[in-house]
Amino acid sequence: MKNIRVLAVGDIVGRAGRHIYLDKIMGMKDRLRIDIIIVNGENAAGGYSLTQEIAHDIFKSGASVITSGNHIWDNRDIASVLDREQALIRPANYPPGSPGNGYHTFMYKGTTITVMNLLGRALMEAVDCPFRAFDEIYEKIKDESDIIILDFHAESTSEKRAMGWYVDGKISAIFGTHTHVQTADEEILPQGTGYITDAGMTGSFDSVIGMRKEESLERFLTQRRVRFEPAKKDPRINGILFDINDEGKTVNVERIIERA
């Protein structure tokens, strides 16, 4: 098996994020020789959750899996979408009985690939332990999966870093999402797991993490509740490339920033 190149796209935020992603991704796939695309889509619909139509557009663009996070539930109709779209996953450590699945396994040219999604607990809502949830899923998939990739959707950099050390040598790669700020700490951990604390954001950078500056400043200045709206200007794609060899180890990792 030749190395498989995986692009993990940071959280798509609103129309600006959707448009630049759909406009650029096919050219990026050819230019960067990308085999597999994983997209975090939890903010794709107006900054909150996503819809069946948006998920369809992302899949049609070539994405193999759409991951999500805590905002996935902001669309009250998402439960039926999660049940229909097996490759649209939500964090696995929500309580048992939650709609959808926390991981997805698929084939690529004879290679079995599993993508997992977990939610952090530090500075976030109360959910089940992501470390124990990882163990439960890993025991189910480790013998059947050649490549395992984890989207860890979490606020705390320390929790993300801890998860990286916890899964090193067990999975092929882990990338963080949720904070919408791409970190400059991409590396290959000692036992061959590719890592970055946060893959960043796909959306407007004339903004505060994808939302209009005006409302964000009003919130900080007044401490009153404000309705945030996605910004539109200076759209960019943030992501992370992992080159994974036939032993399921990352051999190269590279941050991506694509401008309009």
Active site amino acids: 71
**At CA 179, angle to CA 94 and CA 38, rounded to 5?**
70
Q: Enter the DSSP assignment of 197.
A: S
Q: Say which DSSP state 158 is in.
A: H
3-state class (DSSP) for residue 168: strand
d(CA 14, CA 45) in angstroms, rounded, equals 5
Q: Under DSSP, is residue 12 helix (H, G, I), strand (E, B) or coil?
A: strand
Helix (H, G, I), strand (E, B) or coil at 188: strand
Which two tokens mark 51?
């819809």
User: CA–CA separation, 235 vs 50, rounded Å?
Assistant: 19
The amino acid occupying position 214 is E
CB-count burial class (<10 Å; 0-12, 13-18, 19+) for 95: exposed
- The letter for the amino acid at 15 is R
Is residue 167 within 8 Å of residue 132, measured between CB atoms? no
Nearest to 200 by CA among 221, 175, 224, 217: 175
